[in-house]
Amino acid sequence: MLAAILLPLAGGAALLLLRRAPTRTVRNLALLLTCLTSIIVWGLILSGRGSIRLMRFTALLDVEFRLDGLGRFFAGILAALWPLTVLYAHSYMEHEPRQTAFFSFFTMSYGASLGIAMAANLFTLYFNYEMLTLATMPLVLHAMTRQAVRATRTYLLFSLGGAAFAFAAMIFLVTNGAGASFVPGGLLKAHPYAPEITRIFFVLGFFGFGVKAAVFPLHIWLPKATVAPTPVTALLHAVAVVKAGAFALMRLTWFSFSPDLLRGTWAQWVPLGFASFTIVFGAVIALKQGHWKRRLAYSTVANLSYILFGVLLMTPAGLSAGLIHMAAHACIKILAFFCAGAVLRRTGLEYNVQLDGLGRKMPLTFAAFTLSALALTGIPPLNGFVSKWHLLSAAAEAGGTMAWIGIGALLISALLTAFYMLGVAVRAWFPGRDRDLSPIAGAKEADWRMSLPHVILSLGVLATGLYAQPVVRAAEAIANSLP
């Protein structure tokens, strides 16, 4: 377990020492470190539970790692998708400057993300959460342009500001919950404190961790971060950073603050209201975006709140549905970003109006993107349909005004998703007879290092839709194990 976390952290830091080494060597070493780490992680996932205490600060604060069911679920997503992202980056970054620093911090981000997945308590999660912010900051800054500097400044401002709110919630738990350990059903269930004070600090923690989960109005950093190279935006928007925010809120709700103390109170309704609004807001703004990657970024804003909506229903069915959508969205959205990156790398085109007829020049890329668009819309039998079906079912089962408002938000967002995702695909495949296609005359398909992830992820979207039971059973087992 310790090797899974320290190998990418120490290995990534060691890459910084290879500034004079050929960039191909650095890329190969980063890929090797990532694959070895993923093999270790899958070994841990399949072998069962384990724990290790690394250091103790006080009687109530220690750095401890444990791989329970929820941690295994998140670690499995990371271990499956990170090697594909590094392989994709192997090609995408081939002619970019500062590759050594890029792959160094990219690899260290993997270690920090796994530290979040395997954290045994809120203090350990918080420590790795902050480390992830610091490791991904140079990746957003990579281009070193004025726009990149501004995006990085915004990312840091929001991340550190949110961390302050999360820190307040953690201190409250430590001082009033007899520690920061993760307890199924909630630490405060066994150590109840003044209910209204508890709810105030839960809402503070929600908005603190909600920064990385891009809850409105704390989402501003996410679209700005699209200035980073596409492997980074795929990482930020589909796998590590945003999912770390959603995962932290699962821990906060179900393993720290008890749902029994929050359910049916304003401390549930307020976050549910923000999540429902963000679902519609993200989809509406995505539809208005002319820039392809920014459209995908606002789509991420909406879909992250799908996950939070499920979690905040505070029912086992809601948590299970949130987990299913977390896995489905990770696979779908990283595929969509990879397609956008392949087009950008091969043609330099970034805007939707420039994509007319490009499907004929890059058929594999746009076949993969069309599949991701159908899945994100929720068309059966793809995995996006499975996750949205479970979310709607969980909300209908929970009942209540906020649940039905959320159902309406989900349906509106699904309709808007069809427009903003499938609109790009239709444009690429059916440009119209009067369109001038000369600007894309020299376009061609991406090389195998970018195309292979397209194929694997497309098969993943299909497989986890047609044969969804392993993911569904894993999510339900986690949710139903909580008291």
**pLDDT averaged per 10 residues in sequence order, the chain, 483 residues:** 92 88 89 95 85 82 89 93 93 86 93 93 92 91 89 91 91 80 77 79 93 90 88 83 92 89 90 94 93 92 94 93 94 93 88 86 92 93 93 92 92 94 90 72 83 94 92 92 80
Could you give the 3-state DSSP secondary structure of residue 62?
A: strand
Cross-strand partners of 56: 62
**What's the rounded Cα separation, in Å, for the pair 101 and 74?**
26
| Residue of 329, 382, 379, 365 whose CA lies nearest to 446 | 365
pLDDT at res. 263: 87
Instruction: Report if residue 366 sits inside a domain.
Output: yes
Residue for token pair 């399949």: 46
Instruction: Report if residue 119 sits inside a domain.
Output: no
Q: Which helix (H) or strand (E) holds 47?
A: helix 23-47
Please tell me the number of Cα atoms within 13 Å of 29 on its side-chain side.
24
Instruction: Report if residue 114 sits inside a domain.
Output: no
Instruction: Report if residue 253 sits inside a domain.
Output: no
Instruction: Report if residue 333 sits inside a domain.
Output: yes
**What's the rounded Cα separation, in Å, for the pair 381 and 466?**
6
Residue 170 tokens read as: 């953690």
Instruction: Report if residue 418 sits inside a domain.
Output: yes
| Residue of 255, 67, 71 whose CA lies nearest to 177 | 255
What is the domain range of residue 476? Answer: 273-483
Contact status, residue 182 vs residue 478, Cβ threshold 8 Å? no
User: What one-letter code names the amino acid at 306?
Assistant: Y
pLDDT at res. 280: 95
Instruction: Report if residue 389 sits inside a domain.
Output: yes
Cα–Cα separations (whole angstroms), residue 436 to 113, 133, 328, 362, 468: 45, 44, 37, 17, 43
pLDDT at res. 47: 86
DSSP assignment, residue 439?
A: G
Residue 289 tokens read as: 């975006």
pLDDT at res. 70: 92
Instruction: Report if residue 33 sits inside a domain.
Output: no
pLDDT at res. 350: 86
Residue 442 tokens read as: 């020299």
Q: What is the CA radius of gyration of the chain?
A: 21
pLDDT at res. 93: 86
If one counts the domains in the chain, the total is 1
**What's the rounded Cα separation, in Å, for the pair 51 and 39?**
18
Cα–Cα separations (whole angstroms), residue 119 to 32, 54, 208, 371: 25, 11, 18, 35
Cross-strand partners of 51: 66
Beta-carbon contacts of 384 under 8 Å, excluding residues fewer than 6 positions away, are: 328, 329, 332, 374, 375, 376, 377, 378, 461, 465
